[in-house]
Protein backbone atom coordinates (compact mmCIF):
# COMPACT_ATOMS: atom_id res chain seq x y z
CA UNK A 1 0.00 0.00 0.00
CA UNK A 2 1.42 3.42 -0.99
CA UNK A 3 -0.55 5.60 1.47
CA UNK A 4 -1.97 7.84 -1.25
CA UNK A 5 -5.73 7.81 -0.72
CA UNK A 6 -7.72 8.82 -3.78
CA UNK A 7 -10.83 10.79 -2.76
CA UNK A 8 -13.72 9.08 -4.53
CA UNK A 9 -15.93 12.17 -4.62
CA UNK A 10 -18.33 10.76 -7.20
CA UNK A 11 -22.15 10.85 -7.11
CA UNK A 12 -22.66 7.08 -7.27
CA UNK A 13 -21.00 3.65 -7.44
CA UNK A 14 -21.49 3.26 -11.19
CA UNK A 15 -19.44 6.39 -11.96
CA UNK A 16 -16.88 5.41 -9.33
CA UNK A 17 -16.43 1.92 -10.77
CA UNK A 18 -16.22 3.29 -14.29
CA UNK A 19 -13.53 5.80 -13.26
CA UNK A 20 -11.45 3.15 -11.47
CA UNK A 21 -11.76 0.69 -14.35
CA UNK A 22 -11.11 3.19 -17.15
CA UNK A 23 -7.98 4.43 -15.44
CA UNK A 24 -6.81 1.04 -14.32
CA UNK A 25 -6.66 2.13 -10.67
CA UNK A 26 -7.22 -1.30 -9.17
CA UNK A 27 -6.54 -1.94 -5.49
CA UNK A 28 -5.26 1.57 -4.70
CA UNK A 29 -6.08 3.13 -1.29
CA UNK A 30 -9.28 5.16 -1.52
CA UNK A 31 -11.27 7.61 0.55
CA UNK A 32 -15.05 7.37 0.60
CA UNK A 33 -16.78 10.55 1.73
CA UNK A 34 -20.30 11.62 2.53
CA UNK A 35 -21.43 12.09 -1.07
CA UNK A 36 -20.81 8.52 -2.17
CA UNK A 37 -21.60 6.83 1.15
CA UNK A 38 -24.94 8.59 1.60
CA UNK A 39 -25.91 7.59 -1.94
CA UNK A 40 -24.84 3.96 -1.91
CA UNK A 41 -24.53 3.03 1.78
CA UNK A 42 -22.66 -0.02 2.97
CA UNK A 43 -22.65 -1.66 -0.47
CA UNK A 44 -20.02 0.78 -1.74
CA UNK A 45 -17.67 -0.36 1.01
CA UNK A 46 -18.34 -4.03 0.24
CA UNK A 47 -17.73 -3.42 -3.47
CA UNK A 48 -14.43 -1.66 -2.81
CA UNK A 49 -13.31 -4.33 -0.35
CA UNK A 50 -14.09 -7.03 -2.90
CA UNK A 51 -11.72 -5.14 -5.21
CA UNK A 52 -8.95 -5.05 -2.58
CA UNK A 53 -8.91 -1.30 -1.89
CA UNK A 54 -7.70 -0.03 1.50
CA UNK A 55 -10.46 2.32 2.68
CA UNK A 56 -10.61 5.57 4.63
CA UNK A 57 -14.29 6.18 5.42
CA UNK A 58 -14.48 9.97 5.81
CA UNK A 59 -17.82 10.68 7.50
CA UNK A 60 -16.53 13.20 10.09
CA UNK A 61 -18.84 12.26 12.95
CA UNK A 62 -19.80 14.95 15.49
CA UNK A 63 -22.62 14.30 17.96
CA UNK A 64 -23.19 13.50 21.63
CA UNK A 65 -20.69 10.90 22.91
CA UNK A 66 -23.17 8.01 23.22
CA UNK A 67 -24.50 8.46 19.69
CA UNK A 68 -20.99 8.60 18.27
CA UNK A 69 -20.01 5.50 20.27
CA UNK A 70 -22.96 3.53 18.86
CA UNK A 71 -22.33 4.76 15.35
CA UNK A 72 -18.67 3.75 15.60
CA UNK A 73 -19.70 0.29 16.76
CA UNK A 74 -21.63 -0.09 13.51
CA UNK A 75 -18.80 1.38 11.41
CA UNK A 76 -16.34 -1.05 13.02
CA UNK A 77 -18.32 -3.91 11.50
CA UNK A 78 -17.42 -2.59 8.03
CA UNK A 79 -13.75 -3.37 8.72
CA UNK A 80 -12.36 -0.33 6.90
CA UNK A 81 -8.86 0.94 7.64
CA UNK A 82 -9.69 4.45 8.87
CA UNK A 83 -12.74 6.35 10.11
CA UNK A 84 -12.88 9.89 11.46
CA UNK A 85 -14.69 12.47 13.57
CA UNK A 86 -14.43 16.18 14.35
CA UNK A 87 -12.16 16.87 17.33
CA UNK A 88 -14.38 19.90 17.97
CA UNK A 89 -16.85 17.37 19.44
CA UNK A 90 -14.61 17.21 22.51
CA UNK A 91 -12.48 14.74 24.45
CA UNK A 92 -15.32 12.66 25.84
CA UNK A 93 -16.78 12.15 22.37
CA UNK A 94 -13.39 11.01 21.07
CA UNK A 95 -13.00 8.54 23.96
CA UNK A 96 -16.45 7.11 23.36
CA UNK A 97 -15.78 6.83 19.62
CA UNK A 98 -12.70 4.74 20.34
CA UNK A 99 -14.69 2.64 22.79
CA UNK A 100 -17.28 1.99 20.07
CA UNK A 101 -14.64 0.95 17.58
CA UNK A 102 -13.09 -1.44 20.08
CA UNK A 103 -16.26 -2.83 21.67
CA UNK A 104 -16.62 -6.59 21.96
CA UNK A 105 -19.45 -6.78 19.49
CA UNK A 106 -17.25 -4.99 16.93
CA UNK A 107 -14.94 -7.29 14.97
CA UNK A 108 -11.30 -7.97 15.88
CA UNK A 109 -10.19 -5.92 12.86
CA UNK A 110 -8.51 -2.73 14.05
CA UNK A 111 -9.99 0.34 12.37
CA UNK A 112 -7.90 3.43 13.12
CA UNK A 113 -9.59 6.54 14.45
CA UNK A 114 -8.57 9.91 13.00
CA UNK A 115 -9.73 13.32 14.22
CA UNK A 116 -10.27 16.34 12.00
CA UNK A 117 -8.69 19.37 13.69
CA UNK A 118 -9.55 22.48 11.66
CA UNK A 119 -10.77 21.74 8.13
CA UNK A 120 -8.16 22.59 5.52
CA UNK A 121 -10.75 24.78 3.74
CA UNK A 122 -10.85 27.10 6.80
CA UNK A 123 -8.48 30.05 7.10
CA UNK A 124 -7.70 32.11 10.22
CA UNK A 125 -10.23 34.84 9.52
CA UNK A 126 -13.10 32.38 9.12
CA UNK A 127 -11.95 30.38 12.14
CA UNK A 128 -11.83 33.52 14.35
CA UNK A 129 -15.06 34.99 13.02
CA UNK A 130 -17.38 32.08 12.22
CA UNK A 131 -16.19 29.55 14.79
CA UNK A 132 -15.14 32.18 17.35
CA UNK A 133 -11.93 30.27 18.03
CA UNK A 134 -9.21 32.69 19.11
CA UNK A 135 -5.57 32.49 18.04
CA UNK A 136 -3.91 31.19 14.91
CA UNK A 137 -4.97 28.14 12.89
CA UNK A 138 -1.77 26.40 13.98
CA UNK A 139 -2.45 26.99 17.70
CA UNK A 140 -5.93 25.55 17.35
CA UNK A 141 -4.78 22.62 15.24
CA UNK A 142 -2.14 21.70 17.83
CA UNK A 143 -4.69 22.04 20.63
CA UNK A 144 -7.16 19.69 18.89
CA UNK A 145 -4.42 17.25 17.91
CA UNK A 146 -3.33 16.97 21.56
CA UNK A 147 -6.94 16.57 22.65
CA UNK A 148 -7.36 13.75 20.13
CA UNK A 149 -4.11 12.10 21.20
CA UNK A 150 -4.97 12.34 24.91
CA UNK A 151 -8.36 10.75 24.31
CA UNK A 152 -7.33 7.72 22.30
CA UNK A 153 -7.41 8.75 18.64
CA UNK A 154 -4.74 7.15 16.45
CA UNK A 155 -4.06 10.33 14.52
CA UNK A 156 -5.43 13.43 12.86
CA UNK A 157 -6.49 14.73 9.49
CA UNK A 158 -4.55 17.97 9.07
CA UNK A 159 -2.79 20.26 6.63
CA UNK A 160 0.70 19.34 5.47
CA UNK A 161 1.93 22.58 7.01
CA UNK A 162 0.96 21.38 10.49
CA UNK A 163 2.48 17.90 10.43
CA UNK A 164 5.85 18.73 12.04
CA UNK A 165 4.30 20.73 14.86
CA UNK A 166 1.75 17.97 15.55
CA UNK A 167 4.39 15.23 15.64
CA UNK A 168 6.45 17.36 18.07
CA UNK A 169 3.47 18.18 20.29
CA UNK A 170 1.93 14.68 20.37
CA UNK A 171 4.44 12.01 19.37
CA UNK A 172 6.10 10.72 16.20
CA UNK A 173 3.83 7.68 15.99
CA UNK A 174 0.66 9.79 16.15
CA UNK A 175 -0.62 9.50 12.56
CA UNK A 176 -1.11 12.43 10.20
CA UNK A 177 -3.33 12.10 7.13
CA UNK A 178 -3.17 15.18 4.93
CA UNK A 179 -5.65 16.40 2.30
CA UNK A 180 -5.23 19.68 0.39
CA UNK A 181 -2.74 18.05 -1.99
CA UNK A 182 -2.30 19.40 -5.50
CA UNK A 183 -0.15 18.30 -8.39
CA UNK A 184 1.83 21.27 -9.66
CA UNK A 185 -0.33 22.30 -12.61
CA UNK A 186 -3.75 22.11 -10.90
CA UNK A 187 -5.76 24.95 -9.34
CA UNK A 188 -6.41 25.13 -5.60
CA UNK A 189 -10.28 24.87 -5.86
CA UNK A 190 -11.68 25.61 -2.38
CA UNK A 191 -8.67 24.36 -0.41
CA UNK A 192 -6.74 27.09 1.40
CA UNK A 193 -3.71 25.24 2.77
CA UNK A 194 -2.31 23.20 -0.11
CA UNK A 195 0.94 21.38 -0.98
CA UNK A 196 2.41 18.87 -3.44
CA UNK A 197 2.89 15.14 -2.62
CA UNK A 198 6.68 15.63 -2.49
CA UNK A 199 6.37 18.48 0.00
CA UNK A 200 3.93 16.41 2.07
CA UNK A 201 6.41 13.54 2.19
CA UNK A 202 9.24 15.88 3.17
CA UNK A 203 7.14 17.21 6.06
CA UNK A 204 6.82 13.66 7.41
CA UNK A 205 3.13 13.04 6.86
CA UNK A 206 2.04 9.39 7.08
CA UNK A 207 -0.56 9.45 4.31
CA UNK A 208 -2.08 11.90 1.83
CA UNK A 209 -5.54 12.37 0.33
CA UNK A 210 -5.84 13.58 -3.26
CA UNK A 211 -9.10 14.17 -5.06
CA UNK A 212 -9.67 16.67 -7.85
CA UNK A 213 -6.01 16.94 -8.87
CA UNK A 214 -6.46 13.39 -10.14
CA UNK A 215 -10.18 12.93 -10.79
CA UNK A 216 -10.50 16.19 -12.79
CA UNK A 217 -7.21 15.75 -14.62
CA UNK A 218 -7.18 15.27 -18.41
CA UNK A 219 -5.38 12.00 -17.79
CA UNK A 220 -6.19 10.65 -14.31
CA UNK A 221 -4.04 7.55 -14.73
CA UNK A 222 -0.94 9.66 -15.42
CA UNK A 223 -1.84 12.13 -12.68
CA UNK A 224 -2.06 9.28 -10.17
CA UNK A 225 1.27 7.91 -11.37
CA UNK A 226 2.79 11.39 -10.96
CA UNK A 227 1.51 11.57 -7.38
CA UNK A 228 3.02 8.14 -6.62
CA UNK A 229 6.34 9.14 -8.21
CA UNK A 230 6.50 12.36 -6.17
CA UNK A 231 5.47 10.57 -2.98
CA UNK A 232 7.99 7.77 -3.40
CA UNK A 233 10.94 9.66 -4.87
CA UNK A 234 10.39 13.21 -3.70
CA UNK A 235 10.15 14.61 -7.25
CA UNK A 236 8.05 14.25 -10.36
CA UNK A 237 9.36 13.70 -13.85
O1 LIG B 1 -10.32 17.39 -4.29
P2 LIG B 1 -9.47 17.51 -3.07
O3 LIG B 1 -8.07 16.94 -3.28
O4 LIG B 1 -9.45 18.89 -2.48
O5 LIG B 1 -10.19 16.53 -2.04
C6 LIG B 1 -9.89 16.49 -0.70
C7 LIG B 1 -10.77 15.50 -0.03
O8 LIG B 1 -10.37 15.45 1.34
C9 LIG B 1 -12.25 15.84 -0.05
O10 LIG B 1 -12.95 14.60 -0.17
C11 LIG B 1 -12.52 16.48 1.28
O12 LIG B 1 -13.81 16.22 1.76
C13 LIG B 1 -11.48 15.79 2.17
N14 LIG B 1 -11.02 16.49 3.37
C15 LIG B 1 -10.48 17.77 3.35
N16 LIG B 1 -10.07 18.38 4.50
C17 LIG B 1 -10.18 17.74 5.66
C18 LIG B 1 -10.70 16.45 5.69
C19 LIG B 1 -11.10 15.85 4.52
O20 LIG B 1 -10.33 18.36 2.30
N21 LIG B 1 -9.73 18.34 6.77
The predicted pLDDT at position 173 comes to: 97
Burial class (CB in 10 A: 0-12, 13-18, 19+), 95: middle
How far is C-alpha 191 from the geometric centre of its chain's CA atoms?
14
CB 181 within 8 A of CB 205: no
The predicted pLDDT at position 121 comes to: 84
Q: Which of 108, 134, 82 is nearest to 97 (CA)?
A: 82
Q: Of 31, 39, 49, 60, which is the active-site residue? A: 60
Query: Cα torsion at 98, 100, 104, 106 (round to 10°)?
Result: -110
Cα 209 to ligand 1 centroid, rounded to whole Å: 7
Over residues 1-35, the pLDDT tens digits come to 689 999 999 999 999 999 999 999 999 999 999 99
Residue spans per domain, the chain: 4-233
Task: Determine the average pLDDT of the residues in 112-133.
Answer: 94
What atom in ligand 1 is closest to the CA of residue 31?
10
CATH no. of 4-233: 3.20.20.70
Instruction: Return d(Cα 59, Cα 199) in angstroms, integer.
Output: 26
Protein residue closest via CA to atom 8 of ligand 1: 179
What band does 109 get if pLDDT is binned at 50, 70 and 90? Answer: confident
Q: Is the pLDDT of residue 188 over 80?
A: no
* Strand 112-116 versus strand 155-157 pairing type: parallel
Q: Is the pLDDT of residue 190 over 80?
A: no
3-state secondary structure of 114: strand
Protein residue closest via CA to atom 19 of ligand 1: 179
Amino acid sequence: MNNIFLALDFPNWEQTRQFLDENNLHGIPVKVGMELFYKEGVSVIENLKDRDHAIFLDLKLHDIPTTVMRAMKNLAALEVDYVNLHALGGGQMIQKAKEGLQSKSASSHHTKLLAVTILTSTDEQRMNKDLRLKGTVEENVVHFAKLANDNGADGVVCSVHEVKKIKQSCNESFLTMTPGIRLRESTSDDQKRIATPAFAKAQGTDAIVIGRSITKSQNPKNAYAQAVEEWENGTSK
